[in-house]
């Protein structure tokens, strides 16, 4: 893998969450902190693969790590999702208008 390809993967939250396994990790972290071994086991991933995904998520500000005795616990840092949330939020008006049009259409069908 070239340095350019790696940079693209880790450059921002959008690229980081494009990978389904990283989205799965984030979904688990949403519920609280996890040790890497438990994440790997829960998702059926290798330990090195899970560690690599966690590193990417940390680099783009979506995950944090803290030491707890002998363990390192990984948690969600939702602040990193702000750009994704803001971007997706821009489509809210489109969806609301689409659903409103669908509502009107369904009412028209019922009144026939």
Segments of the chain with pLDDT less than 70: 1-10
pLDDT score recorded for residue 91:
86
CATH code at 37?
1.10.10.10
Start-to-end C-alpha separation, the chain: 61
Closest by CA position to 57, among listed 88, 29, 85, 89: 29
Helices (H), 30-66: 36-43, 47-59
pLDDT score recorded for residue 48:
95
pLDDT score recorded for residue 10:
55
Structural domain count, the chain: 1
Identify the domain containing residue 38 by its residue range.
Answer: 3-110
């Amino acid at each position: 893998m070239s340095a350019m390809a790696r940079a693209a993967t880790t450059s921002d939250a959008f690229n980081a969450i494009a990978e389904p396994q990283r989205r799965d990790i984030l979904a688990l972290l949403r519920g609280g902190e996890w040790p890497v071994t438990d994440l790997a086991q829960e998702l059926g991933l290798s330990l090195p693969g899970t560690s690599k995904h966690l590193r990417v998520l940390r680099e783009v500000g979506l995950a944090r790590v803290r030491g707890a005795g002998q363990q390192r616990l990984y948690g969600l840092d939702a602040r990193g999702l702000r750009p994704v949330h803001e971007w997706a939020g821009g489509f809210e008006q489109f969806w609301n208008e689409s659903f409103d049009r669908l509502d009107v259409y369904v009412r028209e069908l019922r009144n026939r």
